[in-house]
Structure 1
């Protein structure tokens, strides 16, 4: 199936420089980006679906790297059905599991945590709520897991792990298990800051992170309790190989401080924006947009940097094919504009003054999933579906 997006206004490609795409049109085929160029060179009759962006902004689909998925589009923590599909209406086209820790009665033995991760990973291979990609199956690290265990589950498709909820006597006790997981090619996120659920360690300090060296410091601005200002400084200056995940459910003051430190140290590429939901903070369909607006209007990030922290930076940390508008990448996009009534002229300007942009269209796999967000304000300029091919998919299986 081919899709063309024409008459694009501003855009962000997702590359490190935050530059727009080279042109004002995109053509997608079979779920990937096939061509980027000028609207004048696009023949609408050659495509099954044509979206006229009408001068609004096109971004890569947002990637939330801290979502506690379970099974299906349901969260037992908030007893809510359909939250992932609702996140698509907030521009989130991919989520990454921060472990299925909220599964009721979750197993804690070695065989059980392996089985849970494999089952969650397999469940979402073809299940796409609202068209969203769900990278599920994050093994919860427990004592007794070995390199052989991690190699086994890696062969079965599991590539994520979460430290911080296991029955370890101290944070430093995680070190050999994290090293084994990394040796098997698994991306490890370590809970950072104060404990968030009963039975977990009281606090994961910067010393623990620097000793164990996970690839990602999960909610390094607190989930919800943050590190101290001095710990923030040490994490940024001494942990150059650790990604810095800033979440909406954390401490905003700490997120701003970490962003400032990262920019001072030329370490912006480590910054990722996420939500850390659903947790006690709740289900937040606009969590990504809100964190982007807060770190732009109150913090030191430019609007383009905020977009990169929610797209291209995440793609680089997790080795994803989405998150960037480049030929060969996944055809996942958000089309949005300044909301009605805003002083801003476009979507990036809205972020700069703290307004949430209005979303008119979300596309994943080159398929239009919605043409009006039920969660954001109405955009000043709305993209128009001028030629519809196959019907948009919502929460069914996608093969």
Structure 2
């Protein structure tokens, strides 16, 4: 499609912005991959008629574990990323690349599918050092700059904290596009963790923690104390990945930390509901972001983001339109990235949603709150329609129709 693209007859327009989650408009004009106008209907080369369906920002998965290309070695699955896009996700944030066979084997006390080679003479510590983790992070960043299955945006610049880093490593990482330092496995000393945190802040890297069943350093037994010392920008899977941290650590993050509070599909839903309720009580829903923590040992669930929104709507009093913001605009803002919003000047990453045929509901928000499955009828990334029609076998009630070279439609005469 060349030239301006006009979305018209939008039934509900979700913004991704907590301050104004729904916009009073029925049209959006896209040109050059960017949202140019909202609420107007100028002539356009292409008109996409939503017939009353919902238009929303594409979901952002704030906790994704990429490999090379569209393959997951943890589950030996091809096509997981493409199916995730088809399920309404347009942006992935890497929580670290830890699934490379032979690279990041777990410790003997944390076995998983990758540990098999350790039983054949492999060293489970192999490549778990500053040199190995740095090289992998830079390689992944370069690979995903151009590898975009179904047009997805994958921000893969995340490096795991390991013993042995010096400041020059952080300078090099920042120069090569690394955006985030993640404390994934325990490093040896809390003093080093605090130094890493300081270097990261100095050079503009975000800091994320694996928030779960272990301390971030070997010399501090308390999970809460290690989190307090690091004071992350993002508390990764605060509801567990899959096992959450003790309640005292979770509550410290809510009450005293500055971190964004990430809730993930594979985690503990009771803890997720607790975090969401506490954040709402503190008027701090802007701190909550959503992710899947997939692919991983739990499996591959392309529809995890929508399902997480749905489950949280059932476990809390937070309206669906605000939960959508936590999976879109909140994540973009926390990660200091463009997108996640329906606003003039933002990237045109948009999804048309509607209830599945035969649902008792007639609107996306009601459908999600009720518990039925909603389906995307059209997915756009950077102003390009990457999926249109019936990619998930079941059809939405109102399928968008595309009319090319139709200024008369744009003018409303048809």
TM-score clears 0.5: yes
Deviations 1:298-327 (A, max 9, x none): 223211111000001001100111100111
3-state DSSP class of the match of 1:249? Answer: coil
What is residue 181 of structure 1 aligned with on the other side? 200
Which aligned pairs between 1:281-320 and structure 2 lie closer than 5 A? 281-320=298-337
- Who is 2:274 aligned against? 257
Distance in 1 (CA, whole Å) between partners of 2:147 and 2:274 is: 38
The yes-or-no answer on 1:220 pairing with 2:222 is: no
Alignment partner of 1:233 out of 251, 255, 263? 251
Q: What residue number does 2:88 align with?
A: 91
Structure of larger gyration radius = 2
Tell me by how many angstroms 1:345 deviates.
Answer: 2.1
Gaps of 5+ in 2: 104-126, 407-414
Question: Aligned pair in 2 of structure 1 residues 203, 69: CA closer, same or farther (>3 Å)?
Answer: farther
Q: Any conservation in 1 of the 2:188–2:218 contact (CA below 8 Å)?
A: no
Determine which of 209, 221, 228 is the counterpart of 2:227. Answer: 209
* 1:347-373 alpha-carbon deviations (Å, 9 max, x no partner): 111121222311111100101111135
Contact 2:22 2:321 in 1 (8 A): no
Match of 1:159 in 2: 179
Q: How does 1:1-399 map to 2 (within 5 A)?
A: 1=2, 2-38=4-40, 41-43=41-43, 46-47=44-45, 49-106=46-103, 107-165=127-185, 168-169=187-188, 173-194=192-213, 205-239=223-257, 241-375=258-392, 377-387=394-404
| Aligned 8 A contact 2:214 2:223 in 1 | no
2:14 alignment partner, SS class: coil
Secondary structure at 2:13's aligned position in 1? coil
Specify the SS of the correspondent of 1:284: coil
Distance 1:275 1:269 in 2: 19
Query: How far apart are the structure 2 equivalents of 1:76 and 1:203?
Result: 32
Normalised by the length of structure 1, the TM-score is 0.90
Offset at 1:117? 0.9
- The structure-2 alpha-carbon separation of the partners of 1:14 and 1:362, relative to structure 1 and needing over 3 Å to count, comes to same
- Cα distance between partner residues in 2 of 1:285 and 1:147: 38
Over 3 Å counting, the alpha-carbon distance change for 1:352 and 1:148 in structure 2 is same
Q: Whole-Å Cα distance in 1 between the matches of residues 377 and 405 of structure 2?
A: 15
Partner secondary structure for residue 22 of structure 2: coil
Secondary structure of the corresponding residue to residue 239 of structure 2: coil
CA contact (8 A) 2:67 2:97 kept: yes
Partner SS, residue 273 of structure 2 = helix
Is contact 1:5–1:52 with CA below 8 Å preserved after alignment? yes
Q: In structure 1, what is the Cα distance between the partners aligned to 2:221 and 2:163? A: 18
CA distance in 1, matches of 2:75, 2:145: 24
Q: CA shift at 1:173, angstroms?
A: 5.0
Give deviations 1:83-111, integer Å, cap 9, x for gaps.
11110111000001010111122232322
Question: Shift of the alpha carbon at 1:204?
Answer: 7.6
Over the aligned positions, Cα root-mean-square deviation in angstroms equals: 2.3
CA contact (8 A) 2:21 2:322 kept: no
Q: C-alpha distance in 2, partners of 1:35/1:231?
A: 45
| CA distance in 2: counterparts of 1:256 and 1:347, whole angstroms | 22
Offset of residue 17 of structure 1: 1.9
- Aligned-partner Cα distance in 2 for 1:338–1:332: 20
Name which of structure 1's ranges 147-156 and 242-251 shifts more when overlaid on structure 2: 147-156
**Which 5+ residue runs of structure 1 have no aligned equivalent?**
390-399
Cα offset, 1:170, TM superposition: 5.8
* Alpha-carbon distance in structure 2 between the residues aligned to 1:372 and 1:87: 16
- Alpha-carbon separation, structure 2, partners of 1:221 and 1:136: 23
Larger mean CA deviation between 148-157 and 225-234 belongs to: 225-234
TM-score using structure 2 length? 0.87
Distance 1:307 1:368, change over 3 A: same
Q: What CA distance in whole angstroms lies between the structure 2 residues aligned with 1:271 and 1:204?
A: 24
Pairwise CA distance, 1:137: 2.7
Give the conservation status (yes or no) of the 8 Å contact 1:195–1:225: no
Q: 1:289 deviation in Å?
A: 0.3
CA distance in 2, matches of 1:116, 1:388: 46
Relative distance call for 1:377 and 1:328 in structure 2 (3 A) is same
